[in-house]
Amino acid sequence: MLRLPQNIFKIGLKAHPIRSLNTNWSLKTNVFQFLRQTRLSSTWSRYNKHYGRNKIDWDRLKKPALFTATFCVATTFAAPYLFKIPPFSVFQYNPKLLVYTIIGLNVAGFLAWKSPVFSRYMTRYGLLVKDNVRSQWSLLGSAFSHQDPFHLLFNMLMLFSFGTSFSATIGAANFLTLYLNAAVFSSFFSLAVPTLMRTSLAVASLGASGALFGVLGAFSYLIPNAAVLLFFIPFPGGAWALFLFSAALNAAGIFMKWGRYDYTAHLGGSLAGVYYGWYYSNIIKKRNARRQVIWRP
């Protein structure tokens, strides 16, 4: 609710008590001037001016962007060879075990916050402090970090629901590439959007949600008509409809600022997942094309 000063409605009424048209015009003019002054002196305007953020700080994004690009390229090319080396080769024959391992790492991250010895390392590598990124590895580590048990439980249930079957479908190497790259890109997206919008960066985020939305994005792109359940209730339209609904919800959350969720990370993970789904589908098409036998008379 916007509170206006009482005397703003009196301007013009005293000068022209009979001429209602002039009174209304004067009233509208003063209200417009007041709203304009209020907008220009809003909290974020004064905040950006005080800290010199009237312009986009591109330097803040250089190191995270370089880390994200380097990590995603390295993971994409290294993951297939990694699973050919023991003991990682066991994941190639049992992709579900990879999902269980990721769940175990998230549980370990949760327990590390409870330890006075490891909590200081989690603060540096497991927490994405947007206004002061202490380590670029926090773009990855924050995706394996949870402080709230219900947050951890919900995310791991989602990972178990989608990950166990999807990892068996696309293979362990592809699933790991998808999960890690979506995690890092969602963290970078979470830094980039507030920087470009010049909103507050004085917040920190953690959790596997960005990577999970990446899994959902790739799953819905590759299997759009798959039946999915939302809180044990069938979602009409299938996986792709659920993805579009979640993407619209996260996009709205960025501008409406609902609750304390990192909607930018969710949306970034979704975009990364759809891109990987498109990338993987093209690989399958090229592989199938090479396997076709052309018969000539």
Which residues does the annotation mark as catalytic? Answer: 209, 266
CA distances from 85 to 74, 82, 91, 96 (A): 17, 6, 10, 18
> Under a CB-based contact definition with an 8 Å cutoff, are residues 206 and 147 in contact?
yes
Number of other CB atoms surrounding residue 77 within 10 Å: 10
CA distance 232 to 2: 42
Classify 229 as helix, strand or coil: strand
Burial class, 80, CB count within 10 angstroms (exposed 0-12 / middle 13-18 / buried 19+): middle
Write the DSSP symbol of residue 4.
P
H or E element in which residue 205 lies: strand 204-205
CA distance 9 to 23: 9
CA distance 148 to 163: 22
Residues 6 or more apart whose CB falls under 8 angstroms from that of 182 comprise 210, 211, 213, 214, 215, 217, 269, 272, 273, 276
What are residue 78's phi and psi, to 5 degrees? -90, -30
Write the DSSP symbol of residue 18.
S
Write the DSSP symbol of residue 88.
T
Among 139, 136, 94, which Cα is nearest to 262's? 139
